């Protein structure tokens, strides 16, 4: 009976999602062929890579933007089953290229991230090494285990949805890759923390919860799609590992809240980017659901429709024909001047659409008019939906290389590995919570070898 009621509840939630997506102003009709989607994404990547300067960064953007581009290179290779960009994002490269050295980098990074994550022993004694304040053992009648601090600064008391979400994703992916219960436990703890402390009444992930004595248990109620996108990705990976009904129900509730949320999109359903990275993380999470969740065809279809809602205006209104340069506004008019941020955001939409099913959507006629293209006739068979598929991860190699370069003198005392390499800066930079246990010189040599 309990299983039956659970299934009924899931069907009701899916029905709600369907009704929320049934908007006449949402263009979810996909007419672009799989081959053309791959071509568009590859061409946009080529333009972006050619605009990187000698330091591996964009002239107009910070570390995190270039770091995401490097990550997208490996994502593209995963989705298309090729090696177009081998070696540019080490952890993602394990998925794309099955090189265990990259997996070890991810494991080393996980251990550093673990040092900023509240464990049961930390909560029991009310202290975590490196912080100069006491922490509460419970907030809102729930344990604080699994929360990840925004940075490693001694006075930083905020536990962030982004930081915890990135650690959740990394832990879940490592659990899937290694079958080590240590990682699975960590993933579950971080997912439980976000659900218990950062979900608002609408099931949207909020930004922070404070842990210092002055503001203990106070929640910063602002929201952005980044935190929710990471939670979507993490829960999707966990659900595919454990096949847990409760995890799938929680994921469905989150999708039902996030997809129609007006806070970050207009009436046409298009995420309002405006130079922010939230749309990228949200699309990455949704693409992970679409790739992995084949059993619930109804929910999967609506997730795919929403991805198409983003893809259509990007290709129709955000780029001038033949330039492969994408502007910040997905409403148009297109901008022929290059922006690393805009190009990277658009790539998130292009790459997430590579695996969409061929069947046309039953959604109403589009209000936007993308350029005509051949009808889809098959699903891209190269999407890797198995181990580490759809990897969206906190370790973005370019981000860390340059953070370490800027802060190398501050971090020379710590050691994370037997080789005595320095501890990298841990922090929230633009949108990335990054930790990477190799020296910046080693990382620079690694990148140079594959440029």
User: pLDDT tens digits, residue range 304-313?
Assistant: 999 999 999 9
pLDDT at 416: 32
pLDDT at 127: 94
Mean local confidence (pLDDT), 363-373: 35
Confidence of residue 95 (pLDDT cuts 50, 70, 90): low
Instruction: For residue 349, tell me if it sits in a domain.
Output: yes
Burial code (b: 16+ CB inside 10 Å, e: under 16) for 8-38 equals: eebeebbeebeeebebeebbbbbbbbbeebb
CA distances from 441 to 64, 240, 402, 424, 437 (A): 19, 37, 10, 12, 12
Instruction: For residue 350, tell me if it sits in a domain.
Output: yes
Distance CA 329, CA 332 (A): 6
Asked if 62 contacts 81 with a C-beta cutoff of 8 angstroms, the reply is no
CATH number at residue 339: 1.50.10.20
Distance CA 209, CA 164 (A): 11
Confidence of residue 77 (pLDDT cuts 50, 70, 90): confident
According to DSSP, residue 439 is labeled -
Instruction: For residue 188, tell me if it sits in a domain.
Output: yes
**Domain range for 336:** 33-59+99-371
Higher-confidence position of 114 and 386? 114
Mean local confidence (pLDDT), 355-367: 51
Neighbours of 39 (CB within 10 A): 14
Quote the Cα angle for 45-77-101, to 5°.
Answer: 115
Instruction: For residue 230, tell me if it sits in a domain.
Output: yes
Confidence check: pLDDT of 326 > 80? yes
Give the tokens for residue 383.
């999407």
pLDDT at 12: 52
Peptide bond into 334 cis (omega under 30): no
Confidence of residue 167 (pLDDT cuts 50, 70, 90): very high
For helices 297-317 and 278-292, angle between their N-to-C axes, nearest 10 degrees = 140
pLDDT at 321: 84
Asked if 413 contacts 425 with a C-beta cutoff of 8 angstroms, the reply is no
Asked if 247 contacts 183 with a C-beta cutoff of 8 angstroms, the reply is no
pLDDT at 80: 81
Highest mean pLDDT among 55-59, 155-159, 315-319, 423-427: 155-159
Mean local confidence (pLDDT), 106-133: 92
Higher-confidence position of 334 and 434? 334
Give the tokens for residue 275.
């130079």
Number of domains in the chain: 1
State pLDDT tens for residues 270-306. 887 554 555 888 999 999 999 898 778 888 999 999 9
Instruction: For residue 110, tell me if it sits in a domain.
Output: yes
Instruction: For residue 3, tell me if it sits in a domain.
Output: no
Asked if 147 contacts 195 with a C-beta cutoff of 8 angstroms, the reply is no
pLDDT at 54: 80
Mean local confidence (pLDDT), 28-36: 90
Distance CA 245, CA 263 (A): 29
Tokens 């993490």 locate to 234
Mean local confidence (pLDDT), 306-334: 89
The string of DSSP letters for 262-282 reads GGGB-TT--B--TT-SHHHHH
Give the tokens for residue 380.
């891209």
pLDDT at 333: 85
Confidence of residue 222 (pLDDT cuts 50, 70, 90): very high
Higher-confidence position of 79 and 254? 254
Mean local confidence (pLDDT), 134-160: 95
Instruction: For residue 405, tell me if it sits in a domain.
Output: no
Mean local confidence (pLDDT), 47-70: 83
Give the tokens for residue 144.
């604080």
**If we measure between CA atoms, which residue out of 95, 85, 235 comes closest to residue 172?**
235
What's the whole-number average pLDDT of the chain?
Answer: 75
Mean local confidence (pLDDT), 373-398: 32
């Amino acid at each position: 009976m309990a299983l039956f009621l659970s299934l009924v509840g899931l069907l009701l939630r899916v029905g709600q999602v369907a009704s929320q997506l049934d908007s006449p102003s949402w263009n979810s009709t996909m007419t672009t062929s799989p081959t053309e989607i791959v071509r568009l994404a590859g061409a946009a990547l080529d333009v972006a890579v050619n605009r990187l300067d000698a330091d591996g960064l964009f002239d107009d953007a910070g570390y995190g933007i270039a770091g995401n581009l490097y990550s997208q290179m490996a994502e593209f290779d995963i989705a298309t089953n090729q090696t177009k960009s081998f070696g540019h994002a080490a952890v993602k490269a394990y998925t794309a290229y099955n090189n265990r050295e990259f997996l070890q980098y991810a494991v080393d990074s996980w251990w550093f991230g673990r040092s900023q994550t509240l464990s049961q022993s930390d909560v029991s004694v009310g202290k975590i090494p490196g912080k100069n304040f006491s922490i509460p053992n419970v907030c809102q009648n729930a344990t604080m285990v699994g929360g990840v601090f925004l940075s490693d600064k001694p006075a930083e008391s905020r536990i962030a949805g982004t930081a915890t979400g990135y650690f959740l994703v990394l832990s879940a992916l490592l659990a899937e890759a290694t079958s080590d219960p240590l990682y699975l436990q960590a993933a579950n703890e971080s997912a439980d923390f976000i659900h218990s402390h950062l979900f608002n009444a609408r099931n949207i992930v909020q930004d922070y919860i404070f842990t210092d004595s002055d503001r203990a248990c106070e929640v910063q109620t602002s929201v952005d799609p980044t935190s929710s996108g990471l939670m979507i990705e993490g829960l999707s990976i966990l659900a595919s590992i454990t096949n847990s009904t409760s995890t799938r129900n929680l994921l469905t509730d989150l999708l039902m809240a996030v997809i129609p949320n007006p806070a970050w999109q207009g009436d046409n359903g298009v995420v309002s980017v405006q130079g922010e990275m939230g749309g990228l993380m949200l699309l990455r999470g949704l693409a992970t659901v679409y790739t992995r969740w084949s059993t619930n065809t109804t929910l999967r279809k609506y997730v795919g429709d929403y991805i198409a809602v983003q893809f259509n205006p990007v290709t129709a209104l955000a780029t001038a024909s033949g330039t492969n340069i994408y502007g910040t506004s997905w409403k148009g008019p297109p901008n022929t001047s290059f922006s690393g941020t805009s190009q990277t955001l658009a790539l998130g939409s292009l790459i997430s659409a590579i695996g969409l099913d061929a069947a046309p959507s039953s959604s109403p006629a589009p209000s936007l008019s993308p350029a005509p293209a051949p009808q889809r006739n098959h699903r891209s068979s190269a999407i890797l939906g198995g181990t580490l598929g759809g990897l969206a991860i906190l370790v973005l190699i370019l981000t860390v290389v340059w953070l370490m370069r800027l802060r190398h003198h501050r971090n020379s005392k710590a050691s994370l590995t037997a080789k005595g390499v320095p501890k990298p800066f841990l922090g929230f930079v633009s949108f990335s919570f990054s930790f990477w246990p190799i020296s910046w010189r080693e990382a620079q040599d690694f990148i140079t070898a594959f440029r």
